[in-house]
Amino acid sequence: MSAHRLSLIALLIAAPAALAQSAGGHAGHHPATAAPAMDHGEMQMQGGAAPADARDPHAGSGGYTLERGPYTLEGPRSLHLADEHRFARLSVDRLERVDSRDATATVYDVQGRIGRDYTYLALKAEGDYADGQLADAHTEVRYARALDSYWDGHLDLRHDTGSGPDRTWLGLGVQGLAPYWFELDASVYAGSAGRSALVLEAEYELLLTQRLVLEPRAELAVHGKADRANGVGSGLSDAAFGLRLRYEITRQFAPYIGIEWHRKFGQSADFARDDGETARETRTMAGVRFWF
C-alpha cells in the first residue's frame, strides 16, 4: 500500500477525535450534565387579578393619544376605538306567563341601556301583571360606572307601584361577574320615613349544550322597617329560587320553561296570611328571552 493511502487512512481515523477535543476545549465549556428536574409547582402561571389600568386604553401609550403627540393626524379623525363609541341595547331577560295556586300572571324583566364601556345609563323595569292590573312593579333609572374589569358600581333612583302605596327609593350598589362565573347584583336602598332595603340577585348559566342552557336564579330582599300597607315586614321579607331551561334558537332569541319556589318570612309571612294569601308557593312558567 502506498504512503499516500496510509496517510489518508490515518487522517480519517484521527479526525473525529480531533473534532471532539476541539469542541471540548473552548474556554468556559463544561461537559454536559443532566438537567435538573423542573418543579411545576413553583411556576408562576398566567392569571390572577387584573392590573389596575386593565381597562384604560391609553395605559401603554407613553402619554400619547389620538389627539396629541408626534403622530397626530391633521383634520377630522378617521379612527375611533370601540370604547369611544356609544352603544344602545334593549334586553328582555324575562317575559313569561306564570301559574301558581292562587293566580296566573304575566311577569316581565326589561332593561334598556345606552353609554360607553366605562359609563352607561340604564332603565330597568320589572313586575307582575295579573287580573288586569300591576300587582307589583319596580321601575329604576340607573347610572353605572366601571370599577374594574369585572365589576360596575351604580347609583339608582327606583319607584315602586302596586296594590299598596307607591314608594320611591335612592339606591347604591354593585353588579358584575364573581369568581366561577356567577352574575351578582347587590343594592341597598333608602326611602322616606326611615325605610331601607337590601336586594340581592344571583344568576348562573350552565351550558348543557351550545344551545340548551340551564339557569339557576336566586333573589332575596331584606327590609329595615315594616311597611304594613305594602305587606312588607322588617328583616328578611321574601326569597325566591328558580330554574329556567332555555333553548337558544339564536343568541338573541330563546324560549324557556321553568319552575320557581317563592317564600315570605317573618312579619311579611304574617301579613300575607292576614290578607288571605299563602306565605309560600311553587310557580311554573313558560316564556321567552331576547335582546337587540
Question: Within a 13 Å sphere around the CA of 192, how many CA atoms are in the beta-carbon half?
Answer: 7
pLDDT band at 178 (very low <50, low <70, confident <90, very high): very high
Percent of the chain with pLDDT over 70: 76
C-alpha 256/C-alpha 9 separation (Å) is 87
Classify 22 in phi/psi space as left (phi over 0), alpha (psi -120 to 50) or beta. alpha
User: In angstroms, rounded to a whole number, what is the distance separating the alpha carbons of residues 7 and 3?
Assistant: 6
CA distance 99 to 258: 11
| 177 contacts: CB under 8 Å, gap ≥ 6 | 150, 151, 183, 184
The CB-based long-range contact list for 112-118 (8 Å cut-off, 24+ gap) reads: 112/88, 113/88, 113/89, 114/86, 114/87, 114/88, 114/89, 115/86, 115/87, 115/144, 116/83, 116/84, 116/85, 116/86, 116/87, 117/55, 117/82, 117/83, 117/146, 118/55, 118/83, 118/145, 118/146
Q: Examine residue 45 and state whether it is found in any structural domain, yes or no.
A: no
The verdict on residue 73 lying in a domain is: no
Please name every residue paired with 127 in a beta bridge, in sequence order, or none if there are none: 108, 137
CA distance to 24, 49, 50, 179, per residue, from 147 (Å):
60, 13, 12, 16
H-type alpha helices, 25-82: none
- Specify the pLDDT at position 109: 96
Between residues 43 and 279, the one the model is more confident about: 279
Does any domain span residue 40? Answer: no
Q: What is the pLDDT of residue 23?
A: 46
**91 assigned to some structural domain:** yes
Is it the case that residue 2 has pLDDT exceeding 80? no
Residue 105 is assigned to a structural domain of this protein: yes
Domain at 120, CATH number: 2.40.160.40
pLDDT, one tens digit per residue, over 159-174 is 999 888 999 999 999 9
Specify the pLDDT at position 4. 52
Q: Three-class SS of residue 292? A: coil
Dump pLDDT digits (tens) for 55-89: 666 666 776 766 777 767 677 766 677 777 889 99
Q: Would you say 134 and 107 are in contact if contact means Cβ atoms under 8 Å apart?
A: no
Residue 12 counted as domain residue:
no
Count how many domains the chain has: 1
Task: Give the domain range for residue 126.
Answer: 87-291
Q: Which tens digits make up the pLDDT trace of 195-254?
A: 999 999 999 999 999 999 999 999 999 999 999 999 999 999 999 999 999 999 999 999
Question: Does 79 map to a domain?
Answer: no
Are the C-beta atoms of residues 92 and 110 closer than 8 Å to each other? yes
Residue 36 counted as domain residue: no
Q: How far is CA 17 from CA 10, 12, 24, 108, 184, in A?
A: 12, 10, 11, 87, 72
Instruction: Kindly provide the b/e burial profile for residues 199-230, where b requires at least 16 CB atoms within 10 angstroms of the residue's own CB.
Output: bebbbeeeeeeeeebebebebbbbbeebbeeb
